[in-house]
């Protein structure tokens, strides 16, 4: 077993390897196969010590503070820590094990205390405050970096009194512990549940692709027959197709009660403490609530703006969902049943109504959406928009055999970066889909090209068979690849501004906008081909698919918006009292908005990883809807140009959105692309909610 230095990780502070921006591997990709769990601890310790030394030197500098010796110096510091943490935290989400989880529990609070020591350092804050942009004649990018550092320091507590700073640091360390525990509990609940399908009757209604996926899930766990797991790519189609209402009810109950099963993996007390600590931190920083703190540095700027958007969408969505419910209840009665529609019935009867109203069968669609074709569709769209090329690499390190790697290039052959695709569900991976970076683009220490990964949880087909996607799965693939392009096309000098490091209610614009190309007939006619025959999707089926785009959108909008409203309500209304009954608070919040009983939240509070595994989307789950206002309007720019691949529009899109990182305020960035800010009307039209 190689030691940490042999694996390319820093082991000793004096080892210059932690100063390097790239590993000595093809394309500087992390040497995954050489890195063992025991390498991380010494690597973290060395990287933390090195970064602390660098920061101390910046703070103790006796020369007058300048952008170069203070801000740029901070941007150059901590490269080893970025590398080690980049590899480690990507793997704890996508391919973890008990050893990594133990390290995660230990290292999280250390990293939090390390960050607090930087942002609460009075000497460092004094130097950053003293940098004079006018006197130095700083350029726009340097001014943006300086401004962002000052905002970061203030939001971290740099201007507080010593006692308050101490408490802020304690809160940060504890929050790290709690966020890690929340995530690990959720993964434990997800990976431990299986619903065995032991007889042909248990499999009733399941189409061949779902039976194959359930068989593959059983084989992966060393079990006989078929099982349904809590991977969304298995449980959602099971809820659609299974004719066994009792099994649908069991599966749905397990899915919605993740993190709420009692015992060591119960997340209710953890969520309550996180809310309490967030409220306390916000008060220390002078804000009325955590929601006010969180939205102060976003496009929305205030909870009023975000909740106003949610209200504007909730009312028509709830009305539409009521109409949908009535149609589903009628379908139940038409079958001769007298039960009342429940949440575990909705997807099953929605599929039946869709077949009746649109003559559209989900299993028929999936036959034309094999994973390989959809990957190529996403790549081809990027090629036509931005001139990118994709070359799959065989001989490069990877952290799991299923991971695939592509070199992304410009038309002139120059390297854009590496793209990793990790598409299949497994017990060592948390649920959901996301984009992350093993290395971010920048020029200050480089030039450095990015290494970007998309992680999915598609149900893997048995060996030799094609993995087939639902249209929602294909949309998820395009969504995450939109995030990937945001990281890959980044064109900035300073790491702080790179790629997706933008306001969180802007970060979903590149991803949600990219989804639009999947729905275009021009793209589907080229890439939606039968997994066995290679024949294009028949035009009649294509037209039915496109005609049904807004089907069930009342349900989809309600389940999402309810989660966003509960998130905002928790962080606005909860005063952070100890022992908060989180499910009761959730239930009361839903009662106040008259949540339809037949629809569940997309993410219930005890498993709402977006808002409790970290602060990223806390009081910010509304961001998807906010960005959707932008993306619906942004795609209209291509329609108005008369070409969904219009070169001039695509050039502006790359310059001001995908490639710009955080060079500009997001409102300025969007206006530079579109010429104005959008209205809500394109979103309502897109979701079929317009009057």
Phi and psi for 477 in degrees, rounded to 5? -60, -45
Read off the pLDDT of residues 425-450 as tens digits, 9 standing for 90 and up. Answer: 999 999 999 999 999 999 999 899 99
> What pLDDT, on the 0 to 100 scale, is given for residue 394?
95
To the nearest whole percent, how much of the chain has pLDDT over 70? Answer: 96
What region does 244 belong to: left with phi over 0, alpha with psi -120 to 50, or beta? beta
pLDDT band at residue 150, thresholds of 50, 70 and 90?
Answer: very high
Alpha-carbon Rg of the chain, whole angstroms? 25
Say which residue, 186 or 362, is predicted with more confidence.
186
Residue-wise pLDDT tens digits, 299-312: 999 999 999 999 99
The lowest-confidence range among 8-22, 221-235, 548-562 is 8-22
Tell me the CATH architecture of domain 371-536.
Orthogonal Bundle (1.10)
Instruction: Give Cβ neighbours of residue 663 (< 8 Å, ≥ 6 apart).
Output: 140, 141, 144, 492, 497, 669
Half-sphere exposure of 550 (CA within 13 A, CB side): 11
Question: Do 218 and 225 touch, CB atoms closer than 8 A?
Answer: yes
Percent of the chain residues past pLDDT 90, beyond the cut: 92
Please answer whether residues 662 and 547 qualify as being in contact, where contact means their C-beta atoms are separated by less than 8 angstroms: no
Q: What integer pLDDT is reported at residue 8 of this predicted model?
A: 40
> CB count, 10 Å around CB of 318?
19
Of 382, 185, 380, residue with least CA distance to 268: 185
What does the pLDDT average to over 451-469? 95
Residue 45 annotated to the active site:
no
pLDDT at 9: 42
| Cα–Cα distance, 82 to 546 (Å, whole number) | 44
Band of residue 577 on the pLDDT scale cut at 50, 70, 90: low
For the chain, the average pLDDT equals 94
Alpha helices in 335-440 (DSSP H): 343-358, 362-366, 371-386
What gap in Å lies between CA 639 and CA 686, rounded to an integer? Answer: 14
pLDDT classification of 262: cutoffs 50, 70, 90: very high
Q: Distance of alpha carbon 671 from its chain centroid, rounded?
A: 25
Q: Spelled out in words, what is the top-level CATH class assigned to the domain 16-119+121-159?
A: mainly alpha
pLDDT band at 605 (very low <50, low <70, confident <90, very high): very high
Does the domain at 264-360+552-621 match CATH 1.10.1370.10? Answer given as yes
Whole-number pLDDT of residue 578:
62
Bigger pLDDT: 160 vs 686: 160
Q: Of residues 273, 324, 351, 480, which has the active-site annotation?
A: 480
Model confidence at 231: pLDDT above 50 = yes
Q: Averaged over 392-410, what is the pLDDT? A: 97
552 — pLDDT class (breaks 50, 70, 90): very high
Q: How far is CA 16 from CA 37, 69, 690, in A?
A: 22, 21, 60
330: Cβ contacts below 8 Å, ≥ 6 apart: none
pLDDT band at 18 (very low <50, low <70, confident <90, very high): very low
CATH topology agreement for domains 264-360+552-621 and 371-536: yes
pLDDT at 22: 65
Query: What's the rounded Cα separation, in Å, for the pair 645 and 380?
Result: 11
Read off the pLDDT of residues 58-96 as tens digits, 9 standing for 90 and up: 999 999 999 999 999 999 999 999 999 999 999 999 999
Cβ–Cβ under 8 Å, residues 318 and 558: yes
How is the chain split into domains, by residue range?
Answer: 16-119+121-159, 194-257, 264-360+552-621, 371-536
CA 242 to chain centre: 29
Alpha helices in 36-193 (DSSP H): 37-60, 73-76, 79-94, 98-119, 122-130, 133-136, 140-156, 162-192
Give the confidence band of 13 by pLDDT, cuts at 50, 70, 90. very low
Residues 590 and 588: their CA atoms lie apart, in Å, by 5
Greatest CA separation found in the chain?
Answer: 84
Residue 147: CB atoms within 10 A of its CB come to: 12
């Amino acid at each position: 077993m190689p030691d940490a230095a042999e694996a390319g990780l820093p082991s000793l502070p004096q080892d210059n390897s932690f100063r390097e921006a790239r590993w000595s591997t093809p394309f500087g990709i992390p040497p995954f196969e050489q890195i063992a769990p025991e390498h991380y601890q010494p690597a973290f310790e060395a990287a933390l010590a090195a970064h602390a030394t660098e920061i101390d030197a910046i703070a103790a500098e006796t020369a007058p503070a300048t952008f170069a010796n203070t801000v740029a110096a901070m941007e150059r510091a901590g490269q080893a820590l970025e590398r080690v943490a980049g590899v480690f935290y990507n793997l704890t989400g996508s391919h973890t094990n008990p050893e990594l989880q133990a390290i995660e529990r230990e290292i999280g609070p250390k990293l939090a205390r390390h960050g607090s020591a930087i942002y609460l350092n009075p000497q460092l804050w004094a130097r950053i405050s003293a940098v004079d942009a006018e006197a130095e004649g700083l350029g726009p990018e340097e001014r943006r970096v300086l401004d962002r550092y000052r905002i970061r320091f203030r939001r971290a507590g740099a201007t507080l009194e010593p006692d308050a700073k101490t408490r802020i640091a304690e809160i940060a360390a504890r929050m790290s512990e709690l966020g890690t525990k929340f995530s690990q509990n959720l993964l434990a609940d997800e990976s431990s549940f299986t619903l065995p399908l032991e007889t042909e009757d248990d499999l009733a209604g399941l189409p061949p692709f779902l039976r194959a996926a359930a068989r593959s899930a059983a084989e992966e766990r060393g079990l006989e027959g078929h099982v349904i797991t809590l991977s969304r790519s298995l449980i959602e189609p099971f809820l659609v197709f299974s004719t066994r209402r009792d099994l649908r009810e069991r599966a749905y109950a397990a899915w919605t009660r993740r993190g709420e099963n009692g015992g060591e993996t119960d997340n209710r007390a953890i969520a309550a403490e996180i809310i309490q600590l967030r409220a306390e931190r916000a008060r220390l920083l002078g804000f009325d609530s955590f929601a006010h703190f969180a939205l102060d540095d976003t496009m929305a700027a205030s909870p009023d703006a975000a909740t106003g958007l949610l209200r504007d969408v909730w009312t028509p969505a709830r009305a539409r969902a009521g109409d949908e419910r009535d149609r589903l209840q009628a379908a139940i009665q038409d079958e001769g049943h007298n039960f009342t529609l429940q949440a575990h019935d909705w997807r099953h009867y929605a599929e039946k109504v869709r077949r009746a109203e649109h003559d559209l069968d989900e299993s028929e669609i999936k036959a034309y959406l094999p994973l390989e074709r959809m990957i190529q569709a996403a790549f081809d769209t990027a090629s036509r928009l931005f001139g990118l090329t994709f070359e799959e690499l065989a001989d490069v390190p990877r952290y799991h055999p299923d991971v695939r790697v592509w070199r992304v290039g410009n038309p002139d052959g120059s390297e854009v970066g590496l793209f990793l695709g990790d598409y299949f569900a497994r017990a060592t991976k948390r649920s959901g889909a996301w984009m992350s970076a093993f290395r971010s683009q920048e020029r200050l220490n480089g030039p450095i090209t990015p290494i970007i990964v998309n992680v999915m949880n598609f149900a893997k087909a048995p060996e030799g068979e094609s993995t087939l996607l639902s249209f929602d799965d294909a949309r998820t693939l395009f969504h995450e690849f939109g995030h990937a392009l945001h990281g890959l096309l980044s064109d900035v000098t300073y790491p702080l501004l790179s790629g997706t490091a933008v306001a969180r209610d802007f970060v979903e614009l590149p991803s949600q906008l990219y989804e639009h190309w999947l729905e275009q007939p021009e793209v589907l006619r080229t890439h939606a081909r039968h997994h066995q025959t290679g024949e294009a999707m028949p035009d009649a089926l294509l037209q039915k698919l496109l005609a049904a785009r807004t089907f069930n959108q009342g349900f989809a909008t309600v389940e999402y918006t309810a989660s966003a409203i509960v998130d905002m309500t928790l962080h606005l209304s909860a005063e952070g009292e100890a022992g908060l009954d989180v499910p009761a608070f959730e239930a009361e919040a839903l009662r106040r908005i008259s949540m339809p009983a037949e629809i569940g939240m997309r993410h219930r509070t005890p498993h709402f990883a977006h808002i409790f595994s970290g602060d990223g989307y806390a009081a910010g789950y509304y961001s998807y809807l906010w960005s959707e206002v932008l993306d619906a309007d942004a795609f209209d720019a291509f329609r108005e140009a008369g070409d969904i691949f219009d070169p001039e529009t695509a050039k502006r899109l790359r310059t001001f959105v995908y490639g710009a990182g955080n060079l500009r305020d997001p409102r300025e960035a969007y206006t530079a692309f579109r010429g104005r800010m959008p209205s809500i009307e394109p979103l309502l039209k897109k979701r079929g909610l317009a009057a």
